[in-house]
Amino acid sequence: MSDVIVTRGLVKRFGHVTAVAGVDLRVPAGVRFGLLGPNGSGKTTLVRMLLGLVHATSGDVELLGEPMPRHAARVLPRVGALVEGPAAWTHLSGPANLRLLDAAGPGRRRGRRRRVDEVLDRVGLGGIDRRPVRAYSLGMRQRLGIAAALLREPELLVLDEPTNGLDPRGIGEIRELLIELNDRGTTVVLSSHLLGEVDALCHRVGVMDAGRLVLEHDLAALRAPTGRVLLRTADPDAAVAELNGRVVDRRGDTLVVRADDAAALNARLVAAGVRVAELTPQRRTLEQVVLELTGSGTDRVVREGPSR
């Protein structure tokens, strides 16, 4: 599988502040990739460098196999993006905004109204009236920004905090839309500080902390079993006696047991006459992984020079 995003030793400094510090990142084609980290961890700066909106201090960026920003004019028509909130001509309506954006693309006049209507329908703004964007709610503006990112049927979709301002129903609708787009072949990159958003959507995750990429891994592998099993039983005393020191925690009828094979543990308990109500292998959550890597999760960046 080819990579749609590659960075090598990517660094961005603003004066004495290093916002991104030596990031090596690869995003394979066809995945839903989540970029996680506390506010101030460098996520948005990294995304802006990927799109050529900010030039790197050092290091290299490739997007869809092309160096950026050198070949931005060739690459960006194949990319949809929403970064740091939706931009719009606020005195115009949403459909008018999208028609203007569509007109900026090469050879796009034919079918423009249809394309605009289709993306508005996709994001839940179908049939929107002619009110100006300045009268939109934050959630409506966010939907309009996502619609703008979809106008060119992108191969790569890069979204920075796309569900900002949406209610729970809206979040679910956008999640379903992104899954549908990905199923049709679009690679989706989602930058967010919301664990639940990435956990529910993504196949693969990268974690930023203090400007560094501290983890890049498949989400399923991160959720690997911990070697412990949660056991609920009506016979906790009998279970403790049978398991001979394997119980590491007990709260009423619920035990945490060291065991690599839940099926073998169940068979042993049943053979000993212990009634098993529930037996569940424990797995690390994404929240546990991120908190282990990012500490307190405070907003911070790396500062160069002597500490004070």
Taking domain 3-222, whether its CATH number is 2.60.260.20 is answered by: no
Instruction: Return the higher-pLDDT residue of 112 and 202.
Output: 202
CB count in 10 Å sphere of residue 29: 16
Interhelix angle for 236-243 vs 262-271, to 10°? 110
The rounded distance, in Å, linking the Cα atoms of 20 and 8 is: 12
Q: Is 8 left (phi over 0), alpha (psi -120 to 50) or beta?
A: beta
Tens-place pLDDT, residues 3-19: 999 999 999 999 999 99
Class of domain 225-283: alpha beta
Q: How many residues does the chain have?
A: 308
Residue 299 has pLDDT above 50, yes or no: no
Give residue for tokens 């129903």: 169
Instruction: Name 207's bridge partners.
Output: 36, 215
Tens-place pLDDT, residues 225-274: 888 999 999 999 999 999 988 999 999 999 999 998 999 999 999 999 99
**For the chain, what is the mean pLDDT?**
89
Residue 297 has pLDDT above 60, yes or no: no
Spatial contact of 61 and 119, defined as CB atoms under 8 Å apart: no
| Comma-separated ranges of CATH 3.40.50.300 domains in the chain | 3-222
- At 70, phi and psi to the nearest 5? -55, -40
Spatial contact of 44 and 84, defined as CB atoms under 8 Å apart: yes
pLDDT at 279 (0 to 100): 93
Nearest to 147 by CA among 109, 173, 185: 173
| Comma-separated ranges of CATH 3.30.70.100 domains in the chain | 225-283
pLDDT at 91 (0 to 100): 93
Nearest to 52 by CA among 74, 27, 21, 22: 74
